[in-house]
Amino acid sequence: MQSTMRVARRSGDAWPLWALWAALGVFTVGFLLPGGEGSSPAQGWLSLLCDWVPVAVCWVAASRVGFRSLQVMLAATAVTVFALADSYTVAATATGMELPFPSAADVGYLLFYLLMLAALLALVRSQLRGLASSVLLDSAVGALGAAAVLAVLLSPILDSAAGDSSSVATVVGVAYPLLDLALVAAAVGVAAAPGLRLGRRWVLLICGLLIFAASDVTLALMDLGSASVAGTALNAAWTLGLAFVATWVDGATRPAPVASRGLKGVWGLLVPAAATAAALGVLILGTQLPVSALAVALAGATLVLAVVRTQLAFRQLVKMADLRRQALTDDLTGLPNRRSLYADVPERLAARQDGPSALLLLDLDRFKEVNDSLGHDVGDRLLVQVGVRLSAHLRGRDLLARLGGDEFAVFLDNAGRDQAVAVALKLRAALAESFTLEGIALQVDVSIGIALSPDQGDDLKVLLRKADMAMYKAKAARSGHHVYMSVDNSHGDDRLRTLEELRIALRDDQLVLHYQPKIDLTTGIVNGVEALVRWKHPARGLLYPEAFLVLVEEAGLMHWMTEVVLEKALDQAAVWAADGRPMTVAVNLSASSLVDADLPQRVIGMIAARRLPSSALMLEITEEFLMADRERARAILTELSAGGIRLAVDDFGTGYSSLAYLRDLPIDELKLDRSFVIPMGDDLRAAALVSSTIHLAHSLGLRMVAEGVEDADAYDALVQQGCDHAQGYFLSKALPAEVLDEWMEHRRLESLPV
């Protein structure tokens, strides 16, 4: 209903414009009929009607905006004074009166030009500050070029006026072409400024003013003192120009969906280019024919401004090229960025003939730990070095881009599966060599996903999605690289779904702990357990850490999970202590958890809140963290040890680092990795390694725990070699707390004498 009312209101408000063009149509038909052209009274009164209808259109439009638009008011006044002047001329002609030149009508005609120039000035005045200097120069070049051409056409009149400047008729006669020159210059200048908001139907305004100027020049060239042109073709031209101006005034007061602007794109350059060519033509013509000094001066000024504009345009092009380069370049590494990849690769795929290509997506493993432990500045320098090293191991035509964070992409032309895998292996080997930053040797691992084209798609977005799936497959399997296969298609969706489910699991208490007992090999008593996290998934059942820990790390949820695990482990320790069975509970901490400087105080506070002794908790730490950041490790571990918390090195023996940290750091216990214990019964060298490691631990005052005890032979051998504690499936797998209680009670009963 409201829409219908708006349409009706819009149609009702358009009657002045319809009346204008209806009157103009009648005038045109009358003019074209046989005998229509001439100075008949009927033709003069019809011409007068076509003068006053535009006046009505302009003032109705002015009232539409509450008479608050200066340019509309000036244009409406200009159209009105022109109509008054025409009315005076037609009335005098109808009464047989011969008008002198100049007459009172000329005052109105001249005022029309002055008022229209003022309207144009008001139109652009408020927008000048928002326009670029290049736009203003384009406008000036267009204005001066048009003025130079018009000055050539008016040369006979201007030269004649220069010879007789005492006559009022001559002065008024010359005023017309000079005002026309100014009007044409202003109109063309406005048209050449693409940034100006000119309102709706702005083209009609420019055309109307140019029609006025052309008619005046024609009249001036025909007869300087002509005073009566009613009913002639020139009068019809003025009438048409007046209608165009009134139509623009009407459109300028109506809202437009999108603000109308001047010429755009190539057309915006056409006006100044044409003006420059015209000015050059005027100067060339001046060498062959006499041309007025004004025309030469205007043409010269046009060319000077054109040179300035060209220089400015060149600088802008250089700046734009630099901005484009910056937009396509990664600020940190200087490599192409994601935007560059999206711009370059589709062209390469489209230009490819029959050869295959490959997209490799690289993601640094555990890069967040570098940022957290050493700071983002060190992480940034590492990324720069990674970019340099990757570039050094690629062909010149290969595209290497940094997509953001620690993610890089490599596009290989003419590379099939074998070549892509070979490049992936080469890049992994290049990054495996340690980087030295802040005096610390950093080891960088990378996971690489590979997507092949055309087999797996010809669209970059598709290839990126599949390479991303393959990369996460490589990361989850810790295989280093993986080539996308169709069975991986659901991996991305599964990963996102699992991440969301993990957040729900942490929030809704879906994580549970199972406890694996640690047996004292001297007494056979269980005085400690290792807490191992499990996810009690509502749909998939009980999930072990390998199914979700990688995602926990990637999603930055490890701090949250560590908090949950510590809370649960200490709660259970408190239950056992209350039952008179105090036990030490060991909890594994990831390297990402140990970069938190507030961790020691939080852990100490959690123990104190449960009124437990500090010895109730043991934290197990990997060698990887100890080697990645020795100073931070010393600070955090020293604070934990000072709080009475026991510390153990997990998976001992699997690293390739110096053992000096055993001397420098407050370690209480070493846990020998299962890879040494399992082959011990059949491999003398493995047995010798175990024996020497136990001896090393004891010589340093450390306890030794053997993991992965799977049979009685290994158990007996560890007892003989003096190992302190053991854990493994031979003794017991990890059990829920209530089941573990039953297991320990059963073990206690079995040990009682019969």
Q: Is residue 609 part of a domain?
A: yes
Looking at the predicted structure, is the pLDDT value of residue 557 above 70? yes
Looking at the predicted structure, is the pLDDT value of residue 618 above 60? yes
Looking at the predicted structure, is the pLDDT value of residue 3 above 50? no
DSSP letter at 24 equals H
Residue type, position 605, single letter: G
Contact 469, 457 (CB under 8 A): no
Q: Is residue 746 part of a domain?
A: no
Looking at the predicted structure, is the pLDDT value of residue 10 above 80? no
Per-residue model confidence as pLDDT tens digits over 688-722: 889 999 998 999 899 999 998 988 988 999 999 99
Spatial distance between the Cα atoms of 713 and 731, rounded to a whole number of angstroms: 12
Report residue 740's pLDDT band, with 50, 70 and 90 as the boundaries.
very high
Per-residue model confidence as pLDDT tens digits over 200-239: 677 788 788 888 877 877 776 665 444 445 455 667 788 8
- Could you list the residue range(s) of the whole structural domain that residue 205 is in? 1-127+197-254
Per DSSP, the three-state class of 117 is: helix
The chain-wide mean pLDDT, for the chain, equals: 80
Report residue 492's pLDDT band, with 50, 70 and 90 as the boundaries.
low
Burial of 742 from C-beta contacts in 10 A (0-12 / 13-18 / 19+): exposed
Per DSSP, the three-state class of 738 is: helix
Please give the structure tokens belonging to residue 734. Answer: 């990890």
How large is the average pLDDT for residues 526-555?
A: 88
Looking at the predicted structure, is the pLDDT value of residue 12 above 50? no
**CATH number of the domain that residue 476 is part of:** 3.30.70.270
Q: Is residue 75 part of a domain?
A: yes
Report residue 556's pLDDT band, with 50, 70 and 90 as the boundaries.
confident
| Same-domain pairing of 166 and 233 | no
Domain count, the chain: 4
Q: Is residue 20 part of a domain?
A: yes
Q: Between 221 and 575, where is the model more confident?
A: 575
Q: What is the 3-state secondary structure (H, E, C) of 273-339?
A: HHHHHHHHHHHHHHCCCCCCHHHHHHHHHHHHHHHHHHHHHHHHHHHHHHHHHHHCECCCCCCECHH
Contact 667, 702 (CB under 8 A): yes
For the chain, the distance separating the N- and C-terminal CA atoms, rounded to the nearest angstrom, is 99
Handedness of CA 516, 519, 525, 531 (dihedral sign): negative
Residue type, position 428, single letter: R
The fraction of the chain above a pLDDT of 70, given in percent, is: 78
Looking at the predicted structure, is the pLDDT value of residue 22 above 80? no
Asked which of 434, 457, 489 is the last residue of a domain, the reply is 489
Q: Is residue 173 part of a domain?
A: yes
Please give the structure tokens belonging to residue 233. Answer: 């073709």
**CATH number of the domain that residue 674 is part of:** 3.20.20.450
| Same-domain pairing of 383 and 459 | yes
Per-residue model confidence as pLDDT tens digits over 365-412: 878 777 766 778 888 889 999 999 999 989 888 899 998 888 999 999
**pLDDT at residue 385, rounded to an integer:** 92
CA angle at 457 for the pair 453 and 461, rounded to the nearest 5°? 110
β pairing state of 407-412 and 669-672 = unpaired
Q: Which region, left, alpha or beta, applies to residue 433 given φ > 0 means left and ψ of -120 to 50 means alpha?
A: beta
Looking at the predicted structure, is the pLDDT value of residue 9 above 50? no
| Same-domain pairing of 601 and 707 | yes
DSSP H helices in 446-524: 460-477, 491-507
How large is the average pLDDT for residues 478-498?
A: 74
**pLDDT at residue 224, rounded to an integer:** 41
Spatial distance between the Cα atoms of 82 and 37, rounded to a whole number of angstroms: 21
| Same-domain pairing of 166 and 59 | no
The CA–CA distances, whole Å, from 371 to 374, 378, 595, 596 equal: 6, 7, 10, 12
Contact 565, 533 (CB under 8 A): yes
The fraction of the chain above a pLDDT of 90, given in percent, is: 24
Tokens 């500050």 locate to: 129
Looking at the predicted structure, is the pLDDT value of residue 127 above 70? no
Picking from 667, 671, 672, 621, the residue whose alpha carbon sits closest to that of residue 646 is 667
Please give the structure tokens belonging to residue 490. Answer: 């659901």
Contact 313, 134 (CB under 8 A): yes
What H or E segment, with its residue span, contains residue 444?
none
Burial of 142 from C-beta contacts in 10 A (0-12 / 13-18 / 19+): buried
Asked which of 489, 506, 524 is the last residue of a domain, the reply is 489
| Same-domain pairing of 151 and 25 | no
Please give the structure tokens belonging to residue 544. Answer: 């072990």
Asked which of 489, 508, 541 is the last residue of a domain, the reply is 489
How large is the average pLDDT for residues 31-45?
A: 54
| Same-domain pairing of 588 and 547 | yes
The alpha carbon of residue 203 and the mean position of all alpha carbons in its chain are separated, in whole angstroms, by 37
Looking at the predicted structure, is the pLDDT value of residue 86 above 50? yes
Please give the structure tokens belonging to residue 472. Answer: 């996460």
DSSP H helices in 33-132: 41-64, 70-94, 104-125
The alpha carbon of residue 262 and the mean position of all alpha carbons in its chain are separated, in whole angstroms, by 29
Highest mean pLDDT among 18-27, 122-131, 366-375, 421-430: 421-430
Q: What are phi and psi of 461, to 5 degrees?
A: -60, -40
How large is the average pLDDT for residues 719-737?
A: 93
Q: Is residue 752 part of a domain?
A: no
**pLDDT at residue 11, rounded to an integer:** 41
The CA–CA distances, whole Å, from 684 to 347, 653, 688, 690 equal: 61, 17, 6, 10
Per DSSP, the three-state class of 449 is: strand
Q: Is residue 691 part of a domain?
A: yes
| Same-domain pairing of 152 and 109 | no
The alpha carbon of residue 444 and the mean position of all alpha carbons in its chain are separated, in whole angstroms, by 29
Per-residue model confidence as pLDDT tens digits over 136-163: 677 777 777 777 877 787 776 666 655 5
Spatial distance between the Cα atoms of 207 and 214, rounded to a whole number of angstroms: 10
Please give the structure tokens belonging to residue 688. Answer: 């010798």
Those residues whose C-beta lies under 8 Å from the C-beta of residue 585, and which sit 6 or more positions away, are 515, 528, 529, 530, 531, 569, 570, 572, 573, 616, 617, 618
Q: Is residue 660 part of a domain?
A: yes
Highest mean pLDDT among 51-55, 250-254, 550-554: 51-55
Contact 460, 341 (CB under 8 A): yes
Please give the structure tokens belonging to residue 313. Answer: 């345009």
Per DSSP, the three-state class of 540 is: coil
| Same-domain pairing of 452 and 570 | no
Burial of 165 from C-beta contacts in 10 A (0-12 / 13-18 / 19+): exposed
| Same-domain pairing of 470 and 350 | yes
Picking from 432, 501, 486, the residue whose alpha carbon sits closest to that of residue 455 is 486
The CA–CA distances, whole Å, from 224 to 83, 154, 217, 394 equal: 22, 11, 10, 80
Spatial distance between the Cα atoms of 61 and 246, rounded to a whole number of angstroms: 9
| Same-domain pairing of 43 and 162 | no
Report residue 43's pLDDT band, with 50, 70 and 90 as the boundaries.
low
Report residue 130's pLDDT band, with 50, 70 and 90 as the boundaries.
low
Residue type, position 467, single letter: A
From 86-100, 254-268, 540-554, the region with the lowest mean pLDDT: 254-268
Contact 717, 681 (CB under 8 A): yes
Highest mean pLDDT among 56-60, 327-331, 515-519: 515-519
Report residue 81's pLDDT band, with 50, 70 and 90 as the boundaries.
very high
Report residue 441's pLDDT band, with 50, 70 and 90 as the boundaries.
confident
| Same-domain pairing of 719 and 733 | yes
Per-residue model confidence as pLDDT tens digits over 365-377: 878 777 766 778 8
Looking at the predicted structure, is the pLDDT value of residue 262 above 80? no
Other C-beta atoms closer than 10 Å to the C-beta of 542 total: 11
HSE toward the beta carbon, residue 485, CA cutoff 13 A = 5
| Same-domain pairing of 577 and 669 | yes
Find the Cα–Cα–Cα–Cα dihedral 473, 537, 610, 702, rounded to 10°.
Answer: -40
